[in-house]
Amino acid sequence: DGGITQSPKYLFRKEGQNVTLSCEQNLNHDAMYWYRQDPGQGLRLIYYSQIVNDFQKGDIAEGYSVSREKKESFPLTVTSAQKNPTAFYLCASSMKGTTLSSYNEQFFGPGTRLTVL
């Protein structure tokens, strides 16, 4: 089955520790994204990558880092510099648009809920 996997589903971290969230896709999608969702709120873009070995900051990149060494993988590290890291993190992927009209829709993983103790 093709899809996006995120692990773990629940993650607990002590203050001051870095933690890495995994995101893997076998859809052969070029683009991958990380979003943060806080209770009762919409999605905010953290980082995105259109191609291997390249990525761009989203709206709330401070305190986060990413890498894109392989097409199918886009791990997110939440560093100790992130002041309020407790949230639900969603990874998504999409094919790059082949027309001038728009990109294709994004496909989402099941999410990782991070709690800082």
Compute the least distance from the CB of residue 19 to other proteins, in Å.
Answer: 19
Sheet containing strand 76-78, edge to edge, reads: 4-7, 19-25, 76-78, 64-66
**How many Å apart are CA 101 and CA 109, to the nearest integer?**
25
Interacting residue with other proteins among 2, 69, 100, 117 (CB under 8 A): 100
Query: Which three-class secondary structure state does DSSP give residue 76?
Result: strand
- Is 111 a binding residue for other proteins by CB under 8 A? The answer is yes
- Is 115 a binding residue for other proteins by CB under 8 A? The answer is no
Q: How far is CA 53 from the centre of its chain?
A: 15
Give the binding site for other proteins (CB under 8 A): 4, 6, 33, 40-43, 45, 48, 50, 56, 58, 90, 92, 94, 97, 100-111, 113
